[in-house]
Amino acid sequence: MNPPTNLTITDADHRKLRDHLFPGDGLEAAAILLCARTPGPRVRLLVKQVLLVPHSACKERRSDYLVWPGTAIEEAIDLAEADGLSLVLTHSHPGGLFGFSRHDDRSDLGTVPSLFQAIGGPHGTAIMTPDGAMLARLYQQDLSPISVESVMVAGDDLSWHWADRKFSTRPTAFTSEATQELGRLSACVIGVSGTGSLVAEQLARLGFGQVILIDFDKIEPRNLNRIVNSTLEDAKAQRSKVVAFAEAVTSYRGEGVAVPVNSSISTREAVLCASQADVMFSCVDTLDARQIADLLGASFLIPLFDVGVSIPTRKTTGGSAIADVCGRIDYVHPGGPTLQDRGVYEPASLRAEYLRRAAPDAHREEMQAGYLRGITEEAPAVIALNMRAASACVMEFIARAYPFRHESNAAYARTQFSLAANEEEFFPVESFQLATNPQFARGDLEPLLGLPALRTPKSKAFA
């Protein structure tokens, strides 16, 4: 099961922090992490801003000792107060000690109470060793410490620093050690149909400790040729896709691994469940669902893998013919170019999709829903294409978490393949222009994802 406490930081902020904490003089240095939070029940701190404490501002810096400047903490409190952010006071251990010293304990008792007096909390402290490994802890109001069990660094590569020092060196891909680490992580799959069920099946069998399944739809006879683990009985009973799939996972993984969420990703319930995940897989066929996944990844610093397939057709004298058989996999790391930045959706296309649903007669000529674009097909035989795309999507995750490529993962922000042309293209992250993202590390700030429709119901408070 995934650890209940986690701190997530982008690779860019992690590098900025490491460069400052280890300037090369062998002396301790300090910084303050301003963190948003997930809504719970899991405690995930999301690093929104790194405030570097100038070396010259520290009253004393030694190889094993540091005196914090009060002005730096006051500045951090001012910055955090408006949105109720948590503060994590961070310093370096140049000697490599992966643990909190007695001096650290005494220092915390002197500084943390002032944080609670200024802002509700929780607040904490962290240390970093020269190899970039981080260890963090949170404090409750009574100043009893809670260990942060994992620190995730999310960028072109994905890595986790574990408080128990398990996997202190990154496991090798495809090994039992990698499987053991995955057992501590949670994955969310949005859309558990043709492609999504294949992605979820791989994640469950790879060993993820938890697989959150989000889909509002029911199983129908026309789905049986492409949704793995679905049965005739499921279709006859019109069972929920996620409930039926979760039962299948339970049969070979046991209880508690699969978490079915029988709701649209556009609902508050689904967004809250998705926010608990370590990684997210978007396997949807609508643009508005992709937009929600995009906002989720940015707001809660969740690495996002988005997969899509299509089969464009063309008119011929005899009717229609296949023009291409295509697939696309985008990897979006927190703080990087979003799906919107990459042109996967835009305001005009979102509006057109809405109009197609709201006024189908007026927009029938623009029909693009479904696998075979331009042809109405109730039960498209596309499982082989779905498998190709789903495998590429999960392999993209493995390559990020347990790097094995000869080149940097930065060169593979997007993969596109054409089976008709037998071609595969890769696009580096620099291919996409990065826009300012106001949703970055928004966390549990209401309304969730900045969408009024996801605001807390007035009738009851959501813990």
Q: List pLDDT tens digits, range 74-121.
A: 999 999 999 999 999 999 999 999 999 999 999 999 999 999 999 988
Mean pLDDT across 248-263: 97
Does residue 327 have a pLDDT over 80? yes
| pLDDT confidence tier of residue 425, bands split at 50, 70 and 90 | very high
What pLDDT sits at residue 378?
63
AA identity, residue 108: D
- pTM, 2 dp: 0.93
Same fold, 5-162 and 176-454: no
Domain boundaries, the chain: 5-162, 176-454
For the chain, how many residues are written? 463
What pLDDT sits at residue 361?
57
| Percentage of residues of the chain with pLDDT beyond 70 | 93
- Lowest pLDDT segment from 228-232, 368-372, 379-383, 429-433: 368-372
What pLDDT sits at residue 18?
98
What pLDDT sits at residue 458?
63
Does residue 315 have a pLDDT over 90? no
What pLDDT sits at residue 78?
95
Give the pair of three-digit tokens for residue 85. 């952010």
What pLDDT sits at residue 228?
95
Mean pLDDT across 132-151: 94
What pLDDT sits at residue 28?
97
- Residues 439 and 342: their CA atoms lie apart, in Å, by 16
- Residues 3 and 306: their CA atoms lie apart, in Å, by 25
Mean pLDDT across 239-250: 97
What pLDDT sits at residue 377?
58
Does residue 365 have a pLDDT over 50? no
Task: Indicate the average pLDDT of the chain.
Answer: 92
**Dihedral pair phi/psi, residue 422, rounded to 5°:** 55, 50
Specify the CATH number of the domain 5-162: 3.40.140.10
| pLDDT confidence tier of residue 329, bands split at 50, 70 and 90 | very high
Contact in structure between 391 and 384 (CB atoms under 8 Å): no
Does residue 282 have a pLDDT over 90? yes
Give the pair of three-digit tokens for residue 424. 């595969």
Residues 334-352 pLDDT 10s? 999 999 999 998 887 777 7
Beta-bridge partner residues of 211: 187, 258
What pLDDT sits at residue 348?
79
Helix extents (H) in 207-338: 232-237, 241-253, 268-274, 287-299
CATH class of residue range 176-454: alpha beta
